[in-house]
């Protein structure tokens, strides 16, 4: 697979603009992206917009004025993201969507996880631990395609057990901005007004799980109700080590950041992408070339091997 070259100059500059540093992996992965890009001779400008869509647009304009050869974007708002892409493409600058597919937009590349595998692993783990009982489902932001695809994968795994009456869904919701405070508020409201309590909570983000564990403590359910997450954020890794959270889906930060940088520079130079197993994702406007990196389930059993021996965190950071 070959893309037409976008830059013939030796000095390559890339903008990496993400949504917010509330998601730890975006901070880490952007740094790994910059590290690998530097090894390949490129400069990377990194910034985020504190979950403010208008600010993200302004920062995208600033990066364009600084002469970037590509923008890597983790978008906040679909309308603003489409405006950013239009502005860049009007000047012949490619845009790579990172982690979040921008709908109906003329993007050049998409770096993604595998939401189907992610959801199937998460729900499968919980069903194995709690084959019968009361479940609560806390998805991500309903305007994020990742949240929709992830929830669909979870639903597909749970459907047979729901239909045969093995599990009962007490509560199901999406969570604005994937914000743990919103998830914790909804959980507390439910617990205060219900006579039934959860045996399992499928939370689709570590930040949500960590905040909800604080709520579960008030009902003496922390560590007793099975709870999930994703992103391997340090607070949740500590919760797993303490037996309060039971699984997180770890997106290998370095592999994703390095791969994205390699793809970005190859795209800018017009080089072949045969080594990256490119597939295609329909974003409503076009079939977008996509590189997917699978996630790794992390539990108390393999935490040390995957995250400590793997160099993600030190033992002191986890078992402090």
DSSP state string for 117-172: HHHHHHHHHHHHH-SSEEEEEE---TTSHHHHHHHHHHHHHHHHHHHTTSEEEEEE
Better-scored residue on pLDDT, 1 or 273: 273
Instruction: Assess contact for 74 and 33: CB atoms under 8 A.
Output: no
Q: What is the pLDDT of residues 226-244, one digit of tens each?
A: 999 999 999 999 999 999 9
Domains 12-113+252-294 and 115-250 share a fold: yes
Question: What is 12-113+252-294's CATH topology?
Answer: Rossmann fold (3.40.50)
**Per-residue three-class SS string for 122-137:** HHHHHHHHCCCEEEEE
Across 107-132, average pLDDT: 96
Query: Which pLDDT belongs to residue 4?
Result: 47
Query: Which pLDDT belongs to residue 1?
Result: 55
Tell me the pLDDT band of 85, cut-offs 50, 70 and 90: very high
What percent of the chain is predicted at pLDDT more than 90? 92
Query: Which pLDDT belongs to residue 274?
Result: 86
pTM here?
0.83
Given this structure, which CATH class describes domain 115-250? alpha beta
Domain borders along the chain are: 12-113+252-294, 115-250
At a CB cut-off of 8 Å and minimum separation 6, what does 65 contact? none
Across 175-189, average pLDDT: 96
Whether residue 5 has pLDDT greater than 70: no
The token pair at 127 is 């069903």
Query: Which pLDDT belongs to residue 9?
Result: 56
At a CB cut-off of 8 Å and minimum separation 6, what does 42 contact? 12, 13, 14, 261, 264, 265
Query: Which pLDDT belongs to residue 272?
Result: 87
End-to-end CA distance of the chain: 48
Cα–Cα distances (Å) from 62 to 46, 56, 84, 88, 96, in that order, read 12, 10, 11, 12, 17
Q: What is the pLDDT of residues 121-134, one digit of tens each?
A: 999 999 999 999 99
Better-scored residue on pLDDT, 170 or 320: 170
Using CA atoms, how far apart are residues 100 and 72, in angstroms rounded to an integer?
A: 11
- Mean pLDDT of the residues in the chain: 95
Better-scored residue on pLDDT, 272 or 102: 102
Query: Which pLDDT belongs to residue 20?
Result: 93
Better-scored residue on pLDDT, 9 or 224: 224
């Amino acid at each position: 697979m070959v893309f037409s070259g976008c830059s013939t100059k030796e000095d390559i500059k890339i903008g990496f603009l993400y949504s917010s540093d509330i998601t730890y992996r975006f901070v880490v992965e952007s740094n790994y992206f910059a590290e690998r890009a530097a090894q390949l001779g490129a400069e990377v400008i990194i910034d985020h917009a504190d979950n403010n869509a208008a600010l993200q647009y302004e920062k995208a304009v600033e990066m364009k004025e600084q002469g970037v050869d590509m923008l890597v974007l983790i978008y906040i708002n679909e309308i603003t993201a489409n405006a950013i892409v239009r502005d860049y493409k009007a000047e012949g600058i490619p845009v790579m969507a990172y982690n979040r597919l921008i709908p109906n937009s003329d993007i050049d590349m998409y770096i993604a996880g595998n939401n189907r595998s992610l959801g199937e692993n998460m729900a499968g783990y919980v069903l194995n631990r709690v084959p019968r009982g009361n479940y609560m489902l806390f998805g991500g932001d309903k305007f994020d395609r990742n949240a929709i695809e992830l929830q669909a994968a979870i639903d597909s795994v749970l459907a047979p057990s729901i239909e045969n009456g093995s599990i009962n869904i007490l509560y199901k919701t999406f969570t604005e901005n994937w914000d743990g405070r919103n998830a914790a508020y909804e959980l507390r409201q439910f617990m205060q007004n219900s006579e039934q309590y959860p045996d399992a909570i499928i939370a689709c983000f570590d930040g949500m799980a960590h905040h909800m564990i604080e709520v579960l403590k008030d009902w003496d359910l922390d560590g007793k109700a099975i709870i999930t997450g994703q992103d391997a954020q340090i607070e949740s890794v500590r919760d797993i080590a303490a037996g309060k959270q039971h699984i997180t889906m770890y997106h290998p930060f370095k592999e994703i950041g390095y791969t994205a940088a390699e793809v970005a520079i190859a795209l800018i130079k017009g080089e072949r992408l045969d080594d990256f197993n490119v597939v295609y994702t329909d974003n409503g406007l076009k079939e977008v070339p996509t590189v997917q990196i699978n996630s790794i389930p992390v539990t108390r059993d393999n935490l040390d091997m995957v995250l400590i021996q793997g160099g993600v965190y030190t033992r002191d950071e986890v078992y402090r």
